Chain A
Amino acid sequence: MAIPLTWYLILAAALFCIGFYGVLARRNAVPILMGVELMLNAVNINFLAFWRYVRPEEPVGQVFAIFVLAVAAAEAAVGLALIISIYRTRKTINVDRIDLLKG
């Protein structure tokens, strides 16, 4: 095939690392969630690349990618609802300042 498998894997690794940086470095909860979505996308690229290049006759990789998609949507829905709820009570979604357990 025209494109080597390694290219896809390196691209997915780069996307994962960018998402990783977003999760670690941002203060605001919404971009942190976006970083998580980027990481999940990187995972899906890996699933599909391996499906295409290793076993294209059995769509196992695609099925798993679809499950990841569903879980990502559920995660985003609950995560954002949590953010909205925290915003209502604490008037901030800056994760540095969400320290309920400090008392």
Chain B
Amino acid sequence: MVQQVVFILIAIFTLGMALGTVISRKLFHAALFLVGTFAGVAILYVLLEAEFLAVSQVIVYIGAIATLIVFAIMLSRSMMDKESGAVNKQWWAAAGGSVLLFAALALLLSKVPFATTSAAVPDDTIAKIGSQFVGVYVIPFEVVSVLLLVAMIGAIMLARERHG
């Protein structure tokens, strides 16, 4: 009961923030709304008892990605807010499409009976995650390091100020 109320409040908060992100005209405000959305999703993860993911969500999305976005906004900002209109000409089609997509998904999801279990989350979940990184999922684990390396090199190449 309490959990359901908390869930509904968090859901309203998260969706409101997400709407603010896509609607707000000022880019910095959009970024702050995005931070709010990420925080709401992190609380949802806590409700799902995925505490490691909840803190990772805050660390990576709020601490890193949102900061990166704000920095990029500041770097390219002089053109930003003066451009006419936040949305393009097909925005109404996009809105209609999104609403339709949501209606279809919601209908579908409420019809499908998912086989759920009420098993509890084991205490050593984080240790299991860690041993799977270097066990079953060692290839994706190493590929992620390569991906991050490539992303870092590529982004430095792109963003660096060239002198002379």
Query: Which A positions have Cβ atoms within 8 angstroms of B?
Result: 1-3, 5-11, 13-22, 24-28, 30-31, 33-35, 37-38, 41, 44-45, 48-49, 51-60, 62-63, 65-67, 69-78, 80-85, 87, 91-96
A63: chain B residues within 8 A (beta carbon): 129, 132-133, 137
Question: Chain A's nearest CB lies how many Å from the CB of B98?
Answer: 4
Chain B, 72-83, contact with A by CB distance < 8 Å: what is the 0/1 string? 110110011001
A20: chain B residues within 8 A (beta carbon): 94, 97-98, 101
B105–A31 contact, CB under 8 A?
no
Residue of chain A at shortest CB distance from B20:
A18
B21–A13 contact, CB under 8 A?
no
B116: chain A residues within 8 A (beta carbon): 1, 5, 53-54
**Count of inter-chain pairs, beta carbons less than 8 A:** 248
Question: Chain A's nearest CB lies how many Å from the CB of B121?
Answer: 5
Which residue of A1, A37, A66, A71 is within 8 Å of B147 (Cβ)? A71
A2–B41 contact, CB under 8 A?
no
Residue of chain A at shortest CB distance from B3:
A2
B48–A18 contact, CB under 8 A?
no
A3–B30 contact, CB under 8 A?
no
**Interface residues of B toward A: which range?**
35 or more
Question: Chain B's nearest CB lies how many Å from the CB of A37?
Answer: 7
Given contacts A26-B22, A38-B21, 11 further A-B contacts (CB under 8 A): A3-B4, A8-B44, A18-B21, A27-B87, A30-B27, A30-B72, A69-B60, A73-B65, A77-B155, A84-B76, A94-B79
Chain B, 84-97, contact with A by CB distance < 8 Å: what is the 0/1 string? 01111011011101
Known: A26-B22, A76-B65, A83-B76. A13 touches B83 (CB 8 A): no
B140: chain A residues within 8 A (beta carbon): 67
B122–A31 contact, CB under 8 A?
no
Secondary structure dominating the interface of A: helix
A74–B151 contact, CB under 8 A?
yes
17 contacts between A and B (CB under 8 A): A3-B47, A5-B114, A11-B14, A15-B18, A17-B101, A25-B88, A27-B87, A31-B21, A37-B65, A45-B41, A63-B129, A70-B148, A72-B60, A80-B72, A82-B158, A84-B159, A87-B79
Question: Chain B's nearest CB lies how many Å from the CB of A52?
Answer: 5
B22–A27 contact, CB under 8 A?
no
A87–B75 contact, CB under 8 A?
yes
A73–B128 contact, CB under 8 A?
no
